[in-house]
Amino acid sequence: MSDRTILVIPSDLASKIDANRGDINRAEFIESLIDNLLMDKDEPTDKGEEAEYVTRAEFVSFQQDMKQLMKNFLDFFVSYGLELGENDEQVSIEEFTSKLKGLKKNLGSNDKEKSGKATIKWKP
């Protein structure tokens, strides 16, 4: 006699199982789901600790913010140099202007609807 038991489940749940189980049978699929769920619970986690990875949208937002920060630094140093009276080098100012325009093109649109604002958290 085998150790088999009948499990009664709703038909929509059975169709979800069949749609996602691939080449394995239902019993193996349910067993692997349960094993994975139990393995996740065995690992100790801090409730205040967040995940250690970022999403693609967060990374793109961080990248755009860093480009904007570099552009702001460049703007500051160009304006600071102009105030000191280094107007002899008109060619270098034109180079800076072209670099700023290039950075502005690289930033693309500043749509914050696509991704949230990136924040940096420092741990002491």
- Give 104's contacts (C-beta < 8 A, 6+ positions apart): 71
* Both structure tokens of 41: 């619970």
- Tens-level pLDDT at each residue, the chain (124 residues): 578 888 888 999 999 989 988 888 888 898 888 888 888 665 555 555 666 788 889 999 999 999 999 998 888 887 777 666 655 555 577 777 787 787 777 776 555 445 556 666 666 5
Task: Identify which of 13, 109, 30 has the alpha carbon closest to the alpha carbon of residue 64.
Answer: 109
pTM summary value? 0.33
CB atoms within 10 A of CB 93: 14
Determine contact, residues 47/59, Cβ cutoff 8 Å: no
Q: Where are the domains of the chain?
A: 11-42, 48-124
